[in-house]
Structures are given as C-alpha cells and as structure tokens.
Amino acid sequence: MLKLFDHEHLDLDNLSDALTAIRVEDLSLQFGNKHVLENITMRIPKHRVTALIGQSGCGKSTLISSFNRMNDLNPQCRYQGQIYIGDRDINNKKQNVSELRTQVGMVFQRPNPFPMSIYENVCYGLKLQGIKVRRQLDDAVERALKDAALWKEVKDRLFESASVLSGGQQQRLVIARALALKPDILLLDEPTSALDPLTTLFIEELIGELKHRCTIIIVTHNMQQAARVSDYTAFLHQGRLIEYSDSDTLFTTPEQKQTEDYITGRYG
C-alpha cells in the first residue's frame, strides 16, 4: 500500500515522556448512564500521525474530544482516569481550558469557517488573545495560510468572505485558523469525509507536512486513509482500546481477531 511518509517504529508500550504528546491513564467516560469509554490507557507519540479507527459509535470522537475537553460542553459527561499533556493533568480544575484549546486545536468533519473574511477567519484566535499589531497579524495570517497550503489560492482575495471558498479550501482555511495559534497538537475529526477524492488526497498530503509542526490525531472511517496517512493506529471497539500499534503492523498483521474482522470489513 502506498504510504505517504515513512518513519522508524516507536515502542508505544515503553514510550519515554520526552517522546509522548498525550498520556492517557485508565480513562473511562460516560454520558449519563451510558458508558462510552472504558479503561483506555495509551501514549500518543509527538510529531507523528495517530489514527483512531472503529465502528460508528465506538467512542472515537469522544476520545479525541477529551484531549481538549470538548466533552465539558455536555453536562452529563463524567470521567475517571487522567489525561496528561506534559506533566499536566488536563482535567485538573486549575487547567485553563482556553489555553488548552489553543495548545490542542481541533478541526471537524464539516468545514466551519466563520461568516467573515478569509483574513479575519485566520487571525480570529490571535485577536482574541489580544494581538492587535497589524504587521504581526499579517505575518501570522500569511504563515498559517502557507502552512495549510492555501496561501497561493487566496493571497489576492484575503478580504473576501470565506464562504466563497470551495469545501476543500474551507477545510484548509479552518486548518490555517487552528495553525495560527501554533498548536502543539492538532485533532482532526473525520476532516475529509465531506470532501471529494482529489481534495482528500491533497489534505492527506498536507497532514504529512503538518506532523513536522505538531502532533496529529485523526479520526477516520476510511481504512485506506488511516493506512496512508498515519504512523500509528488505535482500534476501538465499544469504548475499549482493542489494539494500538504502528499502522503497518495493525493493517497487515493485526494481533487481535476483532481488529482483523474490522479492517477486513467483516463487521462495521
């Protein structure tokens, strides 16, 4: 299978803290009485792409959303266990959630540009942080649009409404908006499921570039995509982490029968 980028395999069971972007310790999560995640323990490596795969409803979005506390928006959400970024337990009461969401950016399935210009979309978060100097904002907007491989297409129309962009351009704009805040971690929740195959390949290549800037975690239903873009893959089933390894191994010689059944399309 064509691989977009290669790497040496890390030992995920013995990953050092220095190489770990996120450490999940015995995380269980429920919405009301519904148990959604059960005893998840894993280390997600820095500057790699990690894919989360599994049947619809297995908890992928809930897990990824717990990395920047998006589940806090649901008052019924209860969890046990810890999630560490560096030596910080992000669920600690002292954690500043806005700061966390700056450090851990998120891009959703459907491109969601704000109803404002391309320029204003990209510098929205920077302005919220109090940055007002025009030159600084201009530089940051250019940098982020270049990083998101969109600059060439929009540099002459930065002050047009973002709504005139195509779906693929809008998704790159949303990625630029996240990148402008220089996140350490970027969460991508099915980022290409609303895009055509060519635009999807374009975004996949972009993901390969971005991992040099930040750690990437991607939820995808597309097995080929997971195998193409990710260095590591975690397979979830009914809220449990069934198998987690380098993507080459997981997609060619999975250890668990459930993983094999899933990746060969026997269920799900």
Ligand X SMILES: Nc1ncnc2c1ncn2[C@@H]1O[C@H](COP(=O)(O)OP(=O)(O)OP(=O)(O)O)[C@@H](O)[C@H]1O
CA dihedral 81, 86, 87, 90 (to 10 degrees): -40
Q: Using CA atoms, how far apart are residues 110 and 187, in angstroms rounded to an integer? A: 14
Residues that bind ligand X (CB under 6 A): 31, 34, 36, 54, 56-62, 74
Backbone angles phi, psi at 211, to 5 degrees: -65, -15
Q: What is the residue whose two structure tokens read 């969601």? A: 112
Shortest reach from residue 31's CB to ligand X, in Å: 3
Residue closer to ligand X by CB (options 101, 240) is 240
% helix, strand, coil for the chain, step of 5: 40, 25, 35
Angle at 214 between CA 146 and CA 204, to 5 degrees: 65
Among residues 72 and 138, whose Cβ is nearest to ligand X? 72
Cβ count near 221 (within 10 Å): 14
| Nearest-angstrom CA–CA distance, 115 and 141 | 17
How many Cβ atoms from other residues are within 10 Å of residue 172's Cβ?
Answer: 28
DSSP 3-state assignment of 252? helix
Question: Which two three-digit tokens encode residue 148?
Answer: 């998101």
Rounded to whole angstroms, the Cα distance separating 261 from 268 reads: 9
Residue 47 and residue 214 in contact, taking contact as beta carbons nearer than 8 Å: yes
Question: Residue type for 106, please?
Answer: M
- Going by C-alpha positions, the residue among 74, 56, 70 that lies closest to residue 190 is 56
